[in-house]
Amino acid sequence: MNAVLSDPIRLGMIEAGNRILMAPLTRSRASADGVPGRSTATYYAQRASAGMIVSEGICIAPEAIGNPMVPGLWSQAQIDAWQSVTTAVHEAGGVMAAQLWHTGRASHPSVQPEGQLPVGPSPIAIDGLTFARNGRTPYVTPRALDAGEIPQIVGHYASVAANAREAGFDAVELHSANGYLVDQFLQDSSNRRSDRYGGSIENRVRLLVEIVVALVDAVGPGRVGVRISPASAFQDMADSDPHRLFDHVVRVLSEHELAYLHVVEPGIDGWRDARFERTSPIDSGWIRARYAGNIVAAGGYTAESATRAVESGIIDAVAFGRSFIANPDLPRRLIENLPIAEPNRETFYSGGDEGYIDYPVWDESTVRV
């Protein structure tokens, strides 16, 4: 038994029934106009035993979209569809946060309104391929945002956060990780600006702070989480002085009434950077030395390592991602040391109900291991 994981925890204004959270997972089951699919309510309700569900990334505007078939929350049709999801989760005894997402340069004209260029802090392209409307294709060089456009983006975050509350979400999470727009502004490999949003660390962190303030104003203190990935190189992310940058990020976030800080641990997808191996890794332990609030960690945890981390006080809860796909009853399996089923990767983004709502709860005669 991993009893500590079953302990309830208060995350700001959110009462989580246990310390096993469902991490955001893109599943590409929305309609072309960003409305969650017909089975989305079933999918999330099946997983309502999580201490809290963090939704898949929800785009804040048509220009924020980076991949086909991802949901939004700017229209009434989207709000109504998400309300059916949160109602189902609440009726199943769960709580749910909406992860708010702007992909920035990690997009492609084929998924942008009128085929326009995606935007970013600077005209620097990601080296690699993205999921475009007609399959995998190279990233393009983004259009650099004008400083005068940034208040509108901050406003989109605030209005969509208000929409999330209207749709019944208990909290919102700002996606400031994994090489998407806010992370692009933070790190100097993607931000070469010379205005008030670039150059110094304080300037590069400015957008993050402006959005956090707007979100807290929109939904209230204790209902905003922030996700960061200080050690991730995904989507060409790097910084010339990551320790100093994220020391400032964490200390600034400490000044706001967040529900939690969501940290992506080093080593996701097998990646580790020698910079962090030679010095101190920017992991949840490094963050804990600088942040006294709730820390939720994600990345390669098992029941045993999660139990040790929570018992040590380094983190307060653990977010599990892919394990939740094939294990709708994952908290029970982790707490009781039951077998963990493996998901079918071919159905991660395939659309339809296969590999989405057809995974069984634990049963010795049917579980797939």
Catalytic residues: 180
> Which residues are CB-neighbours of 171 under 8 A, at least 6 positions away?
11, 12, 13, 14, 52, 95, 97, 98, 219, 223, 224, 225, 259
- Identify the CA nearest to 54 among candidates 15, 99, 19, 16: 99
Taking the alpha carbons at both ends of the chain, their separation in whole angstroms is 20
138 in Cβ contact with 128 (< 8 Å): yes
* Residue positions counted in the chain: 369
Rounded Cα distance, 48 and 291, in Å: 29
Beta strands in 47-122 (DSSP E): 53-59, 96-101, 119-120
| DSSP letters for 348-366 | TTS-SSTTTT-PPPS-TTT
